[in-house]
């Protein structure tokens, strides 16, 4: 079976190798657009579906896996910071509070599709200005939703999590593994 991860993320690629030893990465070329009234927790599932569907159009007989991860703080989705000020704003917003990391996953094969989402609650310690500035200086925040990576220096800020650690990294491997098996078992 040909398996395609519709992503260029090195973290997702590494995590998917826990499920499959042989797969290809073909990133989607879509513009990520979500209807304005979409509930925040549904956004990553919609984006994952769009990515997987885009790649599956050219590979209909392959198992195509799409994924998208967002950080939700209050009523705001925190994407990847665009500059130092944006990273500072995001980290200040997360400081001493609970936020949610939500990953949407979508599976496409032979004209069939299925999508789901995984949610993990993350609590940060209160962060000093010095901690925030030192972290920004490390440049780690800049390719990560919410301006931190739990698998790197950002781990120093995490007081606790409730849910799947790997979901916070970018791919909920345990639930994805189970959902893939279920999806494949129902294909005609």
- Residues designated catalytic: 68
> Around 102, how many Cα atoms within 13 Å sit in the side-chain half-sphere?
23
Q: What angle is formed at CA 73 by the lines to CA 145 and CA 80, rounded to 5 degrees? A: 15
Task: Calculate the CA 37 to chain-centre distance.
Answer: 21
Radius of gyration of the chain from Cα atoms?
Answer: 17
CB neighbours of 143 closer than 8 A, spacing ≥ 6? 80
């Amino acid at each position: 079976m040909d398996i395609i991860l519709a992503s260029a993320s090195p973290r997702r690629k590494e995590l998917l190798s826990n499920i499959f030893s042989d797969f290809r990465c073909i990133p989607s070329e879509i513009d990520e657009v979500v209807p304005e009234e979409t509930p925040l927790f549904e956004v990553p599932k919609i984006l994952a579906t769009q990515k997987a569907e885009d790649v599956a159009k050219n590979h209909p007989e392959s198992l195509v896996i799409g994924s998208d991860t967002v950080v939700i703080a209050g009523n705001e989705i925190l994407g990847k910071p665009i500059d130092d000020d944006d990273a500072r704003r995001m980290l200040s917003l997360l400081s001493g509070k609970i936020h949610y990391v939500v990953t949407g996953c979508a599976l496409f094969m032979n004209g069939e599709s299925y999508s789901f989402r995984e949610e993990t609650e993350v609590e940060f310690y209160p962060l000093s200005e010095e901690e925030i500035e030192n972290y920004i200086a490390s440049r780690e925040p800049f390719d990560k939703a919410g301006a931190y990576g739990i698998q790197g220096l950002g781990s120093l800020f995490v007081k606790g999590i409730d849910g799947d650690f790997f979901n916070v990294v970018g791919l909920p491997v345990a639930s994805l593994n189970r959902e893939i098996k279920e999806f494949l078992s129902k294909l005609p």
